[in-house]
Amino acid sequence: MTKTTDGRGRIQITGFDADEVKEREPLSDWQETSGGEAVGRWTRVWERFKRNRTALIGLTIVAVMSLLAIFARPVEVMGLTVQPISLAPYPPEEILWIRHDVSQNTPPSWSHPMGIDGEARDVFSRVLAGGRYSISIGFVVVAITGTIGLVYGSISGYFGGWIDEVMMRIVDMILAFPALILAMIIVSMFGGGYWQLVAAFTIFGWATYARLMRGEVLKIKENEYVMAAKALGARDRLVIFRHIVPNAVPPLIVYATLQIGTVVIGVAALGFLGLGMDPGTAEWGTMLENGRNAIIPGPGGDIRWWITVFPGAAIFLFVMSMNMIGDGVNDALDAQETGVAGGGDK
Amino acid sequence: MPEVIVVTDETPLLRAENLTKYYDSSGGFLDSLLGNSQDVKAVDGVDLELYEGETLGVVGESGCGKSTLARALLRLVEPTDGSVYFQQRVEEDGEPAGRREVDLTTVSSDDLRDLRTDLQYIFQDPFSSLNPRLTVGDIIGEPLDIHDIATGDERTERIYELLETVGLNPSHTHRYPHEFSGGQRQRIGIARALAVDPEVIVCDEPVSALDVSVQAQILNLLEDLQDELGLSYIFIAHDLSVVEHISDRIAVMYLGEFAEVGSTDEVFSPPYHPYTEALLSAIPEPDPLWEGDQIFLPGTVPSPLDPPSGCRFHTRCPQIIQPAAYDLEQDVWRSVVDLKLRVKDAETLESIATVPDETPADDATSRTSIRELPSAQFESVIRSEYDLPTELSDSSAERALSQAIDELYEDNVTGATARLDDAFTSPCEKHHPEPAQTGTNHRIACLLQDERYDGDRFEAVDADSGSGSDNAVADD
Ligand code: SF4
């Protein structure tokens, strides 16, 4: 339905006004009823994670090991018992032949399912309680380094320019050294112990997070919603923590999950080198170190395998489960980014 | 220096003067330390006015700097130079008390934050302009929180109201952006901009990412909102057909500068800027009774890193002016200039012309370079490559051209460049056209509209080196 005109591009078209347009097909296939309740993003990630069997097994193992560690011995805070349950039959440091009728280096039996070690201590009790050090150091270190790296990387990536340049050269310097060497240097400077170990893995450990976060922030920063927030008058702090960080954080979470296992191995490695906790402590790596001579056949020609195999197995089980979780988280977040629900993608 | 053209007594609501944005294109810290930086002249000295209640369309090809202009206007990117004046509403004791002029480029960041409630922005890409992690309610509520406009129930109420204003259902508040179509997302973006009750909205290609059917709906919505709320728009687009219906005035942008500014009718009718004319001819014409030729622009938009001298359009302009000495047909002249420009940029003969396949060759496999052609054939290859006749109608021009081709044949590219430069330099290459007034509010930046152009010749070539009376010459 056109009328000819002499004006260039001035054709009159009728039947294309807004009222008619309203009668047309809906703008998308989304219907009032098809959406259901709006689900949050983390709920969707959890739904996807739950469907991953390996990741769930890993999560269960980690949860059980953590609970066993917590309930192995009573927990006292400033003289007050906050956790009275004691799953481990003996205190991990107790030398049993003094009060009980046992001898050193007894193989596993019903009363001592993981045997007795060379100092006459109950290996089962020690493995249970040993998780307290390894696991908690893993979580604490990752929480601290992750937070530092997140803030550091966000600032570096968001402000850019010479700020970024200086901050990233510092990170480069740290990353030029192997993490375990740096941790060893710190432990040999400050001595062994729980908080020394935490410090050993924290002081330089945040660098990788920072680098990862910066790259992610640089990417997210390009999105128009960041400029939109500025156009609305949002302050830098709001832009960073409301718009950039939540969108940049998934890769950091994946890395952090995997990193818990790495830290646990690192703590064990330092313990095995005799640089971790005090020699008698029930910490998995330290236990391995104590049991080192047990691998050499003793007077009777027998190998006292139980002294090293159980703490070793605990380390292995924990780290493997942690990696399984990490992969699961990765897949769940990945699907989030690229799937139908892919937020910022076209 | 700023030529403010007073059309009405009204002062423009928003006025930019000499707005300039250069980007540093150096690779980073080291490059800038070594002085390797080069500026991308994205926006180069743009003047514009926006009056209350009007829509100013800004049109240009991609890469002409229109998005940068839009962002520099609201200081979303820091302008390199120039000013943006805005007539801000002033309130005294809650009563409106007139307006006061502020310069956006110099206000403090706190004042700028306040100004964000008057000046808003709609983004091009409805997919990346909404944070995928926030619900629609949070997206629209954000400006309300930032400026303490509403809290609690009032906030919810306002969000519902805004959703309804842009044609969405208030029950969508708790959904995430990915649940919506492109058009619906763009509506959310519009609602977000409206939340602060702005006076001016800069729309950066708001419909170019949408389906054609949806485009019309969004344009209608924007027009309705303008009537209802008295908004003023700066509407960026990459083709004239989109802005035609919505704009009161149109500015045509080329390589960081305005080529033409005028009311929609003025821009759509003669006199044209040659660039506008080409853009107009490219609008698909559904009218079978229309008789017109599409003007094809040769080449691509030159890099803003090193924009052409004089008139920036001279590398592609079909109407580029001839030197006073010659009288060639316009398209032949254009071809001569094309050859000249190519020779200037060329490093080797091969980049000037290639041997056409059908050229008879004794040894077809080895003859791939024009170097190896005999002189006569060489000349004809060059001429046919640039659509030049075997002989130019003007004898002195012909002499210069054939000498240059001979020099090329001797592989003397520098010599040929100098000769061509000497003989064929258009005034358009030397003089930067100042916007010339061609109607009440119509400005065209082209030497054809310059008073020194008498309809045939551009006479300022000699004057500007001599008397100095010619103060309009601005060589870049
Ligand atoms: S000044 Fe010359 S080159 Fe530029 S648009 Fe006008 S005629 Fe074309």
> Measuring from atom 6 of ligand 1, which residue has the nearest CA?
B446
Give me the tens of pLDDT residue by residue for chain A, a chain 346 residues long. 444 444 554 445 555 554 444 444 444 444 444 344 445 667 777 888 888 888 999 999 999 988 888 887 777 777 777 777 777 777 777 776 666 666 666 777 777 777 777 677 788 888 888 888 888 889 999 999 999 999 999 999 999 888 999 999 999 999 999 888 888 888 888 887 888 889 989 988 899 999 999 999 999 988 899 999 999 999 989 999 889 998 888 889 889 988 988 898 888 888 888 887 777 777 888 888 777 776 766 666 667 777 788 888 888 999 999 999 988 888 887 755 543 333 333 3
Predicted pLDDT of residue B468: 37
Predicted pLDDT of residue B288: 65
> Measuring from atom 7 of ligand 1, which residue has the nearest CA?
B320
Report the alpha-carbon distance of residue A308 to residue A285 in Å, rounded: 10
Residue A201 token pair: 């893995």
Report the alpha-carbon distance of residue A59 to residue B332 in Å, rounded: 78
pLDDT reading at B131 higher than 60 = yes
- Cα B285 to ligand 1 centre (Å): 26
Query: Is residue A225 within 8 angstroms of chain B, CB to CB?
Result: yes
Report the alpha-carbon distance of residue B432 to residue B419 in Å, rounded: 23
Going from the C-alpha of A6 to that of each of A13, A28, B267, B287, B407, the distances in angstroms are 15, 39, 16, 10, 51
- Cα B432 to ligand 1 centre (Å): 9
Beta carbon of B297 within 6 Å of any ligand 1 atom = no
Report the alpha-carbon distance of residue B196 to residue B18 in Å, rounded: 29
Interchain contact, B128 vs A224, CB within 8 Å: yes
Query: Is residue A227 within 8 angstroms of chain B, CB to CB?
Result: yes
In DSSP notation, A115-178 reads -B-TTS-BHHHHHHHHHHHHHHHHHHHHHHHHHHHHHHHHHHHHH-HHHHHHHHHHHHHHHTS-
Predicted pLDDT of residue B211: 87
Work out the minimum CA distance from B355 to partner chain A, whole angstroms.
Answer: 42
Assess: ipTM above 0.85: no
Quick count: other Cβ atoms within 10 Å of Cβ B357? 7
Residue B299 token pair: 């080449």
Predicted pLDDT of residue B231: 93
Predicted pLDDT of residue B71: 92
Report the alpha-carbon distance of residue A112 to residue A304 in Å, rounded: 14
Report the alpha-carbon distance of residue B276 to residue B291 in Å, rounded: 18
A166 contact residues in B (CB cutoff 8 A): none
Question: B18, exposed or middle or buried, with CB in 10 Å at 0-12, 13-18, 19+?
Answer: middle
- Among residues of chain B, what percentage have pLDDT more than 90? 29
Interchain contact, A227 vs B76, CB within 8 Å: yes
Question: B468, exposed or middle or buried, with CB in 10 Å at 0-12, 13-18, 19+?
Answer: exposed
pLDDT (tens digit per residue) in B326-350: 888 888 888 888 888 888 887 777 7
What's this model's pTM, rounded to 2 decimal places? 0.77
* A76 within a domain of the structure (yes/no): no
Q: Which of B121, B171, B214 sits opposite A32 (nearest CB)?
A: B171
* A179 within a domain of the structure (yes/no): yes
- Crossing angle (nearest 10°) for helices B413-423 and B330-345: 140
* A240 within a domain of the structure (yes/no): no
pLDDT (tens digit per residue) in B376-417: 788 888 888 888 888 888 888 888 888 888 888 888 888 888
Q: Which of A236-250, B318-332, B447-461 has the lowest mean pLDDT?
A: B447-461
Q: Which of B120, B128, B268 sits opposite A225 (nearest CB)?
A: B128
B103 membership: H or E segment, kind and range: strand B95-103
* A133 within a domain of the structure (yes/no): yes
pLDDT (tens digit per residue) in B166-177: 999 888 888 888
* A269 within a domain of the structure (yes/no): yes
List the domain boundaries for chain B: 14-118+198-277, 330-356+369-425
Residue B309, classed as helix, strand or coil, is coil
B133 contact residues in A (CB cutoff 8 A): 41, 246-247, 343
- B141 to chain A: closest CA residue: A232
Predicted pLDDT of residue B472: 41
* A83 within a domain of the structure (yes/no): no
Query: A64 vs B34, which has greater pLDDT?
Result: A64
Mean pLDDT of B39-44: 87
Q: Which of A234, A238, A343 sits opposite B133 (nearest CB)?
A: A343
Beta carbon of B314 within 6 Å of any ligand 1 atom = yes
B129 contact residues in A (CB cutoff 8 A): 223-225, 228
Q: Which of B74, B124, B214 sits opposite A231 (nearest CB)?
A: B74
- Is the bond leading into B271 cis (omega within 30 degrees of zero)? yes
Beta carbon of B69 within 6 Å of any ligand 1 atom = no
Amino acid at A316: F
The candidate with the shortest Cα–Cα distance to B268, out of B63, B440, B442, is B442
> Measuring from atom 4 of ligand 1, which residue has the nearest CA?
B311
Report the alpha-carbon distance of residue A294 to residue B38 in Å, rounded: 70
C-alpha torsion A263→A264→A269→A274, nearest 10: 110
Please report how many Cα atoms fall inside a 13 Å half-sphere around the Cα of residue B45, on the Cβ side.
11
List the domain range (segments joined by +) for residue A276: 60-71+116-216+247-335
Report the alpha-carbon distance of residue A106 to residue A119 in Å, rounded: 11
Strand partners, B43: B21
* A228 within a domain of the structure (yes/no): no
As a whole number of Å, the end-to-end CA separation of chain B is 17
The confidence band for B304, taking pLDDT boundaries of 50, 70 and 90, is confident
- A346 to chain B: closest CA residue: B127
Mutate which of B424, B429, B444, B447 for ligand 1 pocket (most atoms within 8 A of beta carbon): B447
Pick the CATH number of B14-118+198-277 from 3.40.710.10, 3.40.50.2300, 3.40.50.620, 3.40.50.300: 3.40.50.300
Work out the minimum CA distance from A318 to partner chain B, whole angstroms.
Answer: 33
Mean pLDDT of B38-42: 83
Predicted pLDDT of residue B466: 37
Average pLDDT value for chain B: 82
Task: Tell me the backbone φ, ψ of residue B211, rounded to 5 degrees.
Answer: -60, 150
Four-residue CA torsion sign, B135, B140, B146, B152: negative
Taking one residue from A and the other from B, the number of pairs with CB-CB distance under 8 angstroms is 127
CATH code of residue A286: 1.10.3720.10
Work out the minimum CA distance from A329 to partner chain B, whole angstroms.
Answer: 18
Interchain contact, A9 vs B169, CB within 8 Å: no
Report the alpha-carbon distance of residue B472 to residue B294 in Å, rounded: 33
* A159 within a domain of the structure (yes/no): yes
